[in-house]
Amino acid sequence: MAIKLTDVANKAGVSPTTVSRVINNYGSLSQKTIDKVHAAMKELNYQPNSLARSLQGKNTQLIGLIFPSVAHPFFGELVEKLESKLFDRGYKSILCNSANNKEKERNYLNMLAANKVDGIVAGAHNLGIQEYEELNLPIVSFDRALAESIPIVGSDNYQGGCLAAEYLYQQGARKIGIITGSNASDSPTNDRLEGYLDFLKKHQLEAQVFRFESFEHSLVLKNMKIKRILEESDLDGLFCTDDLTALLVRNNCHELNLAIPDKLKLIGYDGTRFIQEHCPQLSTVIQPIDELAELLVDLLIQRIIHPEKEMSPAYKLPVRLLTGQTS
């Protein structure tokens, strides 16, 4: 049988109104009374109804997090930081894994709205979701252009692209290629490619761009494509716009007896804690995950508390280079 607020009141020896005031942190109550109510709630395992609170015009203290996959080290670490920082600020998180499924993301958005979350942090890759324009909710985006009214937080992707190309150049590479995504969306991550292209143009070098489309998720297909690139091109430097692809390149180089960094200098992008601890030999561009999470949380809470406040359309945090043994 579900535990009711009146059960808590009876257990604590107080009125239901007093229990409600404790839950909503409203009015002047003695610490002894507050402790009695919390002890009764704990003993009865009573969970306040967030939806009921929202119907009374109160915040639910719930935040929706929509990301492609926490199996990816970068998104996994970012979501972990977000959840921790939100909890420290009094919010609980609802995690929605949108994969690469637009309908799934749309359903999650509708679910979050129906559950009256206080706000959403969105970092999904799906395109053409009109609901972001229509939802009357505080939303902050990570590295994705969702709607004109939604501010975007990300690292300086253009700076990162320049840094990666420049470092390969400094190490002696002149035939520098890039493996990137489809770049179909109008999103800040595309600037990694632009930084690379501008650096090569400045030094009068020919760009070699290899795109992995969004549907190419099969590890077998990715390895086949990487192997073909390594066999058919004459690259002496390669920039991968994510670390996991860079690791696949390194593995394929080993199978092809292509020495790194003597024959091919290699650099990745993201620099997660996982990469730094388990693959320290990989040169990479580090995104400041902790600072990104802090900024996303700060901006979202500002939007929740002051919905009328004007915000910049985009916020960029600097990246830095981590040199390993692959370049």
Q: What's the mean pLDDT in 267-294?
A: 96
How many structural domains is the chain composed of?
3
The beta strands (E) that lie in the chain are given as 62-67, 92-97, 119-122, 139-142, 152-155, 176-180, 208-211, 237-240, 265-270, 284-286, 314-317, 320-322
Three-state secondary structure call for residue 74: helix
Q: What is the token pair recorded at 228?
A: 């073909």
Residues 196 and 148 in one domain: no
Task: Clarify whether residues 93 and 183 are in a common domain.
Answer: no
State the DSSP string of 201-256: HHTT---EEEE--TT---HHHHHHHHHHHHHH---SEEEESSHHHHHHHHHHHHHT
| Length of the chain as a residue count | 327
* DSSP conformational letter for 59: -
pLDDT of 281 reads 94
In a domain, residue 56? The reply is no
Residues 150 and 161 in one domain: no
What is the residue type of 326?
T
Which pTM does this prediction carry? Answer: 0.81
Is residue 327 assigned to a domain?
A: no
C-alpha to C-alpha distances, 315 to 136, 151, 305, nearest whole angstrom: 22, 8, 20
**Averaging pLDDT over each range in 28-32, 122-126, 146-150, 170-174, which range is the top one?**
170-174
Poorest-pLDDT segment among 31-45, 256-270, 286-300, 306-320:
31-45
Q: Could you give the angle at the alpha carbon of 150 between the alpha carbons of 148 and 154, nearest 5°?
A: 110
Are residues 204 and 279 both part of a single domain?
yes
- Does residue 55 lie within any of the structural domains? no
Q: Are 197 and 87 part of one and the same domain?
A: no
Q: pLDDT at position 160, please?
A: 97
Least-confidence region, from 40-49, 68-77, 94-103, 246-255: 40-49
Same domain, 113 and 166: no
What's phi and psi for 285, nearest 5 deg? Answer: -100, 125
Task: Determine the structural domain holding residue 13 and report its residue range.
Answer: 5-48
- Predicted pLDDT at 55: 44
Same domain, 194 and 283: yes
Q: The domain spanning residue 275 has which CATH number?
A: 3.40.50.2300
Q: Looking at the domain assignment, is residue 57 inside a domain?
A: no
Query: Are 24 and 136 within one domain?
Result: no
Residue 311 buriedness (CB in 10 A; 0-12 / 13-18 / 19+): middle
**Does a structural domain hold residue 173?**
yes
Q: Which tokens sit at 270?
A: 């993201």
Average pLDDT over residues 249-260: 95
Residue 54 has pLDDT above 60, yes or no: no
- What is the per-residue pLDDT across 161-208, written as a single tens digit (0 to 9) for each? 999 999 999 999 999 999 998 766 667 889 999 999 999 999 999 999
Residue 12 in domain: yes
pLDDT greater at residue 114 or residue 292: 292
Q: Which amino acid is at 54?
A: S
Is it the case that residue 268 has pLDDT exceeding 90?
Answer: yes
The secondary element (H helix, E strand) that includes residue 44 is helix 31-44
pLDDT computed for residue 264 by the predictor = 97
Q: Are residues 313 and 257 in the same domain?
A: no
Instruction: State the distance between the two ends of the chain, measured CA to CA, in whole angstroms.
Output: 63
Are 295 and 205 part of one and the same domain? no
Q: Are residues 140 and 208 in the same domain?
A: no
Say what the pLDDT of residue 16 is. Answer: 83
Same domain, 207 and 304: no
Which stretch, 71-75, 95-99, 167-171, 214-218, has highest mean pLDDT?
Answer: 167-171
Angle at 102 between CA 131 and CA 269, to 5 degrees: 105
CATH number at residue 32: 1.10.260.40
Does a structural domain hold residue 54? no
Within 13 Å of residue 185, how many CA atoms lie on the same side as its CB? Answer: 18
pLDDT of residue 121: 96
Higher per-residue pLDDT: 159 or 137: 159
Residue 34 lies in a domain: yes
φ and ψ of 202, to 5 deg? -60, -35
